[in-house]
Amino acid sequence: MDNAAFERIPPQNLEAERAVLASMMLEKDAIYEAIQMIKPKDFYKEAHSIIFSAIIDLTEKGEPVDLITLTEQLRQESNLEKIGGVGYIAEVANSVGTAASIVHYARLVRDKSLLRTLIRTATNIATRGYEPGEEPEELLDDAERMVLEVSQNRIRSGLVPITDVIENTIEKLELLQQQKSDITGLSSGFRDLDAMTSGWHSSDLVIVAARPAMGKTSFCLNIAQHAGIKENVPVAIFSLEMSREQLVLRMLSSLAMLDQQKLRTGRMIDKDWISLTNAIGPLAEAPIYIDDTPGISVMEIRAKTRRLKAEKGLGLIVIDYLQLMSSGRRSESRQQEISEISRNLKALARELEVPIIALSQLSRAVEQTQDKRPGLSHLRESGALEQDADIVMFIFREEYYNPESDKKAIAEIIIAKHRNGPVGSVELAFLKEFTKFADLAKMAE
């Protein structure tokens, strides 16, 4: 690596920095514009950072900002000589700067600051890469985290006039009216479920929880299949428990209505092969992408899904399952780690404007209840899942606990939390041998 790269003068624009400060000394409105865009640390020259902070301090105290008050403020802070004395303040005040151009100047300062931050981050990563004994995987995780922090610090959301929000809302309502459909999001493929949820909506975090053997993986694969095949929506599936080959076998079993055991053993008759061939075509053409990296972190998912969205588009993310994920950093407890994962998944859904369906385990406490029906209190390891999720759903099969139940091959989908809609239950047919869920009405036809 060329060491000269580390010895260059960092990106900076001292004229823009002085222009920002001069504008702030000219007019109070320029101060309010500047503090929305930049912070003291964004200035390259320390003297400029100190002056910027002093101007903010004066403004917060309700005092005017001019040569006299600014000089006195810096003197009280024992910073006057550090910045070059009264003479330098006068020099800055006489810089070419206008309140009308403050946004332009502030943007230049911010952009140079961002470049310096990226250089420091990249240099840190490169330096660690040369360290003997550095673990590549740990360095990769840290590198992704550091770059993510730079990106997140850059994103600032401002106040928006309610009239603009109303205008955008009305436009969306008009589009929905033209659709003439109650499904305003991405269809799940299940009519009764869509009737309650109106589909999966952008930025939603959906938690699907169940005890083992309830069919939660099959349920979410069915949803992913429908999105990819019927809706032609790109889907990213992150499987932390099963290999991609196992997932594909399950999807083929569901689509071809072939017993899983036949597919696993390869003992199929001609009719089965015909059904399998008919299922392979649509599935192979579907925009479904599978990643089976064990212990994947939210940062890794973010990097992969951002790339996928940019290259192919993205309409749905499925994660199987949440408790097998890694937060990418040390936590005091597993509960705290799950809370962080949950919070970051919700943030990712908002950033990508894509619904995320994350599968979750339930605690064994549900087995101690009389009717075995799960509730929000049974979410494993973290109450944050309930807090962060827009929808929390449980899968419950009475037949599993009571073989004499009259609800054979029926799964109840319990919507226990719905931030923007009703809660309640939907019954679906569950054909375990085919790993397939279906509307009861369709099965009766």
Respond yes or no on whether the N-terminal peptide bond of residue 321 is cis (omega within 30° of 0).
yes
How far is CA 332 from its chain centroid?
23
For the record, the structure tokens of 168 come out as 């955008």
Strand order from edge to edge, sheet including 288-291: 288-291, 235-239, 316-320, 356-361, 205-210, 391-396, 410-418, 424-431, 436-439
Task: Give dist(CA 331, CA 342) in Å, integer.
Answer: 14
77 tagged catalytic: no
Start-to-end CA distance of the chain, whole Å, equals: 69
| CA dist 96 → 27, 91, 385, 429, 445 (Å) | 14, 10, 53, 73, 78
Which residue in 27, 72, 77, 241 is the catalytic one? Answer: 241
Which long-range contacts does 104-107 make (Cβ < 8 Å, 24+ apart)? 105/16, 105/19, 105/20, 105/23, 106/20, 106/33, 106/34, 106/37, 106/38, 107/37
Which amino acid is located at 7 in the chain? Answer: E
Query: What phi-psi label fits residue 283: left (phi over 0), alpha (psi between -120 and 50 degrees) or beta?
Result: alpha
User: Catalytic amino acids?
Assistant: 241
